[in-house]
Structure 1
Amino acid sequence: MGDQFVDSYDPRRWAAAWTPRQALEGRAARRSASRQRLGSVGLGAGILLAGAAAAWIARPDAMTPRPGVAADAPPGAGEAQSVRRTLQLASAAELETALRRFGLDAATAAQVAAQARPALGAEGEVRAVLEMTREGGALRFYRLQASNPDSSGAVVRRGEGGALETSRLAAEMRERIVVMHGIMDGDSFYSSAVGVGVPNALISPFAKALAFDFDFQRDVVAGDAFELAYAQRTNAAGEAMGSPLLLYASMTTQTKSAAVYRFQQPGGEVEWYDASGRTVARSLMRTPVDGARVSSKFGFRIHPVLKYRKLHGGIDFAAPTGTPIYASGAGVVEFCGPKGANGNFTKIRHDNGWETLYLHQNRFAPGIAVGVRVAQGQQIGEVGTTGRSTGPHLHYEVHINGERVDPATVQPDPSESKSLTGAQMQAFEQVRDRIDVNRAQGSS
């Protein structure tokens, strides 16, 4: 059976079956077949090149994109006849002009912009995706999607019969928790926090949240560790929307550590609690001004102006003119105005009978007047150098039972510490646990 086939793995059978003449004839046949294949390839390549050239000449997107404008081909009625433009506008007021600039006639641009504008904010950037079709060399409107930074907006499209149809887009927002850690440098908490990427808007709230446990001008030094967690709303593109909200703050020094959680009781004010649900609020904050340097402590000293030994009945916090001053505790304003060597000063009587004084202010905060009740941490004025002063600073005093005491040594009243119970405690635990889970994971 094998004798019937020329193909064999035996060379002797190849020689017997394949004569020189047959070899020549086979060579000629192979050359002819090769020429036919090359001709076919050349013809195919020519057709492809011709088609590519035709497609390039008739390409739909013949306009050159302007800086900041992306162009690509959208899904539409025929990919080869579609044009897309992505426009980033400073406000909705620019929409009509932009539509005309990128191919729509004046009447259509006005109609499309009018349809989309009610869904767009009066202020803020607008992202618009314009889709058109090229028909007989002319551009014809197909679809526009215009959205606000929060992803809300409108879609305007050409429906059957050419009429414009509009549909609204709902905002797509989500909240994520961001966790950050840092080590204090040798300069300040501000520079330490900024150095690890903490948003500037969170630096003051962080210091206030821990104001009952730490004096950031005296208690915190280089090498101390801090941690915070904050909530940030983002749009569908993952871009931050609105201001971040501080949820958790902690500081660890060589001598102590403290951690606080933000919690708002139903219908109540926002307060800070430790992990066990006990409020950390005290009658007075440790420091009534942010970012200041203690330039003079409580006690006897040589007065810098009078040049004789005199009791310095408070603490001086040196800070630039205009630095905000806060009420160290809730109470009622008993005095607010200029008073000789004290300069512009405010006196607050607190609910437990204690009094605090704030001297040498540059000016008072709006609404601060005698008889007005202020909340703890509310701004009451600005640092200045009025009265008998050698430079911009806040002179801060605490009076207990009519006597001046060292603000740095005032101890919190144990009766002030209140703990959450019942349903409030259960609600707080859910908030606390969510924050702690994200702290363990890093962020969410």
Structure 2
Amino acid sequence: MRLSDKFHHLTSGSRLLFGTTRTSRIVSVCGLFLAVCAFGAVGVAPLAPDASDLPVKKITQQLDLPKLDEQIAALEEHEQHFIREEKVLRGDTLSALLLRLGVDDSEASDFMKSDATARSLMQLRAGKSVRAQTNDEGELEWLQATLLDNNDKPARSITVARDANGKLIATDTNAKLEKRVEMRSGDIRSSLFAATDDAQIPDNIATQIVSMFETNVDFRYLQRGDHFNVVYETFWQNGEFVKTGRVLAGEFSNAGKLFQSVWFDESPNSGGYYSFDGKSLKKAFLKSPLEFTRVSSGFSMRVHPISGQWKAHKGVDFAAVTGTPIRASGDGVVDTAGPSGGYGNMVVIKHWNNYSTAYAHMSRFAPGIHKGSKVVQGEVIGYVGTTGWSTGPHLHYEFRVNNEARDPMSISVPSAPPLAGADLPRFKNIADEMSHRFALLRPERMAETMKLASR
């Protein structure tokens, strides 16, 4: 019987038994509800068996373990290769280095001692890495290391390897290096180089910072509280630092005044530093022909230290130890280079627009410096000495306009022309990137400053 028929039968029966009063209707509905619940309970009973009532089955399989002798035999059928990397130690010998690399190969050892290219590996400084691959007999398959002459020459990769016939060959090629861009900050407490050491900035980068700002910042008079940010290149190979590159941008706060610069390649073979608005930072003359020295006598009237007479001092004396390099303060042509009476060994350089500079009391001249030779700003032209009328080692420096002496510390000279035309959009992209990097550096400097202030 269908559920609808059952429902009709039940309701009809309820009317017969209880009548049609309100009370009878309630009782009949309650009865109907209980009947439906009972019917539904029977309809939703679980169909799947209880998992606890199911029988448990176990499967056991015997696995054969590989035999050790067979594994060893399989390994012996194939030649093994081992790559090791070792650091060169102070006072290292070739034999000791090869031993640590696992090389047990007299042929390779003799070859590296006799071949001129391979012998250059012994020029490696302590701490540099050498990598080698050997077979399971300790025979050398290849050995590689990177040599660095200086920052003006490319790094060289020296490789000793066997050719198809098993003959050892040494090759010398330019190394393939990975370029990285690094950012550092520093605070001046005593000197620039002390600050760069604290910031773990290489000396080569510190020297470039000086070159970059020396026409605007007098590094002899830095103040405690001066600070700088710098962005520069480093080059790596196999995760090992090889050399530093160029300073890409820098900012230096000196006596409350901020100087900023960014390197811009004007052409594939030339470039220079510019302020962030595109103005060249290179001026016609350096502030000082010596790095990190002090003025011992200025441009003024004075009692001459030898004659004792009161007379005008038409130059500036920079005190420095004998042998300190003297740099040309601007581009020009050497007019004279030789002994000059009381000036001792002297160089005079003619520059553009009737400017000339003189450098006296030199101990000796730099190679290639003679009358007619061209020099560029910053080029070493000689070395500090005490020749001529001098009571001690120093540089007497004169700045002349139309052969008349002027005070080099106060004269105003023009800068190189600013960028213009098609260079400006490309320069702006570079300057914007460096500005963003400096913005990332400044919160670190502020945190360091607050840390120092709390001590």
TM range (shorter): 0.5 to 0.7
Residues in 2 aligned to 1:431 and 1:121: alpha-carbon distance in whole angstroms:
43
- Is 1:236 the counterpart of 2:233? The answer is no
The CA deviation string for residues 310-356 of structure 1, in whole angstroms up to 9 with x for no partner, is: 21111111111111111111111111111111111111111121111
AA partner of residue 256 (structure 1)? K
The AA in structure 2 aligned to 1:245 is R
**CA distance, structure 1, for counterparts of residue 210 and residue 81 of structure 2:** 56
* C-alpha contact (below 8 Å) 2:183/2:232 kept by paired residues: yes
SS in 2 for 1:148: strand
Match of 2:182 among 169, 178, 191: 178
Cα distance change, pair 339–178 in 1 and its aligned pair in 2 (3 A):
same
Question: What displacement does 1:255 show?
Answer: 4.6
SS at match of 1:179: strand
CA distance in 2, matches of 1:355, 1:345: 13
- Residue 432 of structure 1 corresponds to which residue in structure 2? 431
Distance 1:363 1:154, change over 3 A: closer
Amino acid at match of 1:423: A
The alpha-carbon deviation at position 128 of structure 1 amounts to 3.2
The residue aligned with 1:211 is: 214
Amino acid at match of 1:199: P
Larger CA deviation: 253-262 vs 284-293: 253-262
1:399 paired to 2:400: yes
Q: 1:210, CA displacement in angstroms? A: 1.1
Alignment partner of 1:208: what SS?
helix
Contact 1:142 1:158 in 2 (8 A): no
The residue type paired with residue 204 of structure 1 is T
C-alpha change, 1:172 and 1:119, in structure 2 (3 Å) is farther
Amino acid at match of 1:147: Q
How far has the Cα of 1:181 moved from its partner? 1.8
- In the alignment of these two chains, the number of paired residues is 354
Deviation at 1:209, TM superposition (A): 1.4
Q: TM-score, normalised by structure 1?
A: 0.67
Cα distance in 2 for partners of 1:87, 1:433 equals 42
C-alpha contact 2:229 2:438 (8 A) present in aligned 1:
no
Q: 2:426 aligned with 1:422, yes or no?
A: no
CA distance in 1, matches of 2:305, 2:160: 70
2:61 is aligned to none
Residues of 1 paired with 2:373 and 2:440: CA distance? 46
Matched, 1:306 2:310: no
Shift of the alpha carbon at 1:358? Answer: 0.8
- Cα deviation 1:203-261 (Å, max 9, x = unaligned): 3322121121122224x222211222221111122x22134322223321225221122
Partner of 2:405: helix, strand, or coil?
Answer: strand
Query: CA shift at 1:391, angstroms?
Result: 1.1
Provide the residue aligned with 1:286 in structure 2. Answer: 287
**Shift of residue 365 of structure 1?**
0.9
1:223 matches 2:225? yes
Match of 2:145 in 1: 148
Structure 1 residues 381, 323: CA separation in 2 closer, same or farther (over 3 Å shift)?
A: same
Deviation at 1:122, TM superposition (A): 3.8
Q: Distance in 2 between matches of 1:337 and 1:199?
A: 37
- The within-5 A match list for 1:349-428 is 349-413=350-414, 416-428=415-427
- Shift of the alpha carbon at 1:399? 1.1
C-alpha distance in 2, partners of 1:155/1:333?
48
| Alpha-carbon distance between aligned partners in 2 of 1:85 and 1:235, rounded to the nearest angstrom | 16
Task: Find the counterpart in structure 1 of residue 98 from structure 2.
Answer: 98
Percentage identity across paired residues of the two chains: 28
Counterparts of 2:410 and 2:419, CA distance in 1: 28
By how many angstroms is 1:180 displaced?
Answer: 2.0
Is this contact kept in 1: 2:327–2:379, CA < 8 A?
yes
C-alpha RMSD of matched pairs (Å): 4.2
Distance 2:400 2:158 in 1: 58
**For residue 427 of structure 2, what is the amino acid of its counterpart?**
F
Shifted more, 82-91 versus 247-256: the winner is: 82-91
In structure 2, the CA distance between the partners of 1:306 and 1:119, relative to structure 1 (3 Å rule), is closer
Q: Secondary structure at the match of 2:425?
A: helix
Secondary structure at the counterpart of residue 208 of structure 2: helix
Q: Which amino acid aligns with 2:131?
A: A
SS in 2 for 1:217: helix
Structure 1 residue 173, shift from structure 2 partner: 2.1
| Contact preservation (8 Å) 2:278, 2:427 | yes
Which of 182, 197, 201 lines up with 2:200 in the alignment?
197
Give 1 or 2 for the bigger CA radius of gyration: 2
8 Å contact kept, 2:250–2:261: yes
